[in-house]
Amino acid sequence: MLNDSLSKTLNEQLNFELYSAHVYLAIAAYCSGESLDGFANFFMVQAEEEKFHAMKLYKYLNDRGKRVTMEGMDTPNNEYTSILEAFEHAYEHEQEVTRRIYHLSDIAMNDREHATIQFLKWFIDEQVEEEAMFDSIINKLKRIDKDSNAFFMMDSEFALRTFTPPAL
């Protein structure tokens, strides 16, 4: 049986994943406003991934007999001075997600809630990938600096990113 404090924190995480989607859609809109459609696509796909993460938590809470509740969310940052700044913001956001997943894992371990510990392992692995991806893009953007050819090549590359949802 999932205790109330753990299920409440899992529900908060579900809502935070949706907030993440909101943050990335705001970045996508900034990119679209700058006519950088490839970068916009990258963040739209990222937002889809976040919705998938939220639905994974939704299903888990339902499977464990817990009632999911939706919460309101803060207005995300809509203005950036550069693509690099937007990616840095995204990277910091992912680090915050990781902190929250670790906190959830700590509670689950404290409760000896093995099914939840197991469930959260997927998210822990996912966070390693998310952080690595943003870190590597930031490094590339810094190396590219003012080379506009390389920058637009990156934009074209990101236009190809797609999201195929795995099974929940």
What are the binding residues for Fe cation?
A: 17, 50, 53, 94, 127
53 binds Fe ion per the rule CB under 5 A: yes
Contacts of 138 (CB under 8 A, 6+ apart): 84, 87, 88, 91
Give the residue with the Cβ less far from Fe ion, 32 or 98. Answer: 98
Per CB under 5 A, the segment of 9-17, 37-45, 74-82, 133-141 that binds Fe ion is: 9-17
Binding status of residue 93 toward Fe ion by CB under 5 A:
no
Nearest residue (beta carbon) to Fe ion: 53
Q: Considering the complex, state which of residue 7 and residue 127 has its C-beta at the smaller distance from Fe ion.
A: 127
- The residue with tokens 């390693």 is 128
Q: How far apart are CA 19 and CA 65, in angstroms?
A: 24
For residues 80 and 26, the answer to whether their CB atoms sit within 8 Å is: no
Task: Pick the closer one to Fe ion by CB: 40 or 47.
Answer: 47
Of the two residues 52 and 151, which places its CB atom closer to Fe ion in the complex?
A: 52
Q: How far is the CB of 53 from Fe ion (least distance, A)?
A: 4
89 near Fe ion, rule: CB under 5 A: no
Q: Phi-psi region for residue 71, left (φ > 0), alpha (ψ -120 to 50) or beta?
A: beta
> Tokens 């670790």 identify what position?
102
Helices 148-158 and 114-144 cross at an angle (nearest 10°) of 150
Q: Under a CB-based contact definition with an 8 Å cutoff, are residues 17 and 136 in contact?
A: no
Site string for Fe ion, 13-52 (x = CB under 5 A): ----x--------------------------------x--
What are the residues binding Fe ion (CB under 5 A)? 17, 50, 53
